[in-house]
Amino acid sequence: MASSIEKHVPVFNGSNFRTWSTSMINYLCTSGLYQIVAGDISKPESLQGTSKTDGKLLGTWLDPIFWSEKDMTTIGLIRLCLNDAIKEKTKDKKTSKKLYDYLAYAYKETTFAHQYGIYTETLRLRVSGSHDPTNDIEKLSSLYQQLKEQNLEIPHKIQIMTLLHALPKHYKILLTTLLSSAKLTNWDIVSEQIHNDYQKKVFTGNNGPSANKITLIKRHRENPQWVKKPATNNTPQNGNNQTTSGSAPKPSGLKPFKGKGKGCAYPK
């Protein structure tokens, strides 16, 4: 039964109450459980009457144990179709009617703050240039559907312009083509064009802004590395004594100075 309800009832995320509640009520009706949520069948306090009559009431709506089992089943079905945040908020609701009534009270009414939160998500969303854009496009479409369920429907042209604004830079050629197209107001056509352009880039190996561009300009070689040559011992060929450390050479034909100024090797 759990896998069956997931096929017919969407997950309630706080913004799609109208769609979710319609699907949930339809499913509970087909399962014979909606009467509990609607409050048409209240929990009986106890079996009353003779023992013979009590036996006939077992397994009916007048049996409190039977009623409790059905109510727990209904709670489980509802909670299967709630996101984690709402499950946490409603964990103290002990009956299916209290659970459903809380959801209707908390999320049925449309608030400007909630509309604003969803709308800002549409503006922040960006289509990735490194993987298939289908998921991002579907997410944006889902946000606009949530706004519609909140009684705020964004015009189709604004939706498409927001989608085009969310495209990465390497879609600029496609963007130019779409802006000159008469079919720009069709969401499905624009989405298909974006997907086809991505597939083309993947096929040609030019996917994403980091792809190598073909150019006729000759590439520059790497910058040369200038290395200072080590000092060499240059011995003069004429036999003159010269130092190799860069100090001044000793003058030839002079004797060391002796006397009081013996701190100097040669007279000034």
Tens-digit pLDDT profile for residues 168-198? 988 989 898 888 877 677 899 999 999 999 9
Instruction: Compute the distance between CA of residue 13 and CA of residue 81 in angstroms, rounded to an integer.
Output: 9
Q: Show which of 76, 92, 107 is a domain's final residue.
A: 107
| Statement to judge: residues 27 and 84 lie in one domain | yes
Using the 3D structure, point to which of 204, 225, 244 is the last residue of a domain.
Answer: 204
117 and 103 part of one domain: no
Do 26 and 94 sit in the same domain of this protein? yes
My answer on whether 129 and 171 are in the same domain is yes
Same domain? 89 vs 121: no
Residue 117 lies in a domain: yes
Using alpha carbons, list the distances in angstroms from residue 108 to 23, 105, 134: 15, 6, 30
Asked if pLDDT for residue 73 goes beyond 70, the answer is: yes
| Prediction pTM value | 0.47
- Say yes or no: 177 and 99 in one domain: no
What is the rounded average pLDDT of the residues 238-254? 50
Q: Is residue 37 part of a domain?
A: yes
| CA 36/CA 42 separation, integer angstroms | 7
Domain range enclosing 199: 112-204
Would 120 be classed as within a structural domain? yes
Alpha helix segments (H runs only) across 125-247: 134-149, 156-165, 172-179, 187-204
pLDDT tens string 128-167: 888 899 999 998 998 898 788 777 889 999 999 999 999 9
Q: Which residues on neighbouring strands pair with residue 82, listed in sequence order? A: 12
pLDDT at 42 over 60: yes
Residue 59 shares a structural domain with residue 126: no
The answer to whether residue 240 sits within a structural domain is: no
Name the band, by pLDDT with cuts 50, 70 and 90, for residue 242. very low
- Position 51 scores a pLDDT of 46
CA 127/CA 167 separation, integer angstroms: 5
Report if residue 11 sits inside a domain.
yes
Average pLDDT, the chain: 77
Least confident range from 77-81, 118-122, 259-263: namely 259-263
Number of domains in the chain: 2
Same domain, 74 and 129: no
Residues 89 and 139 in one domain: no
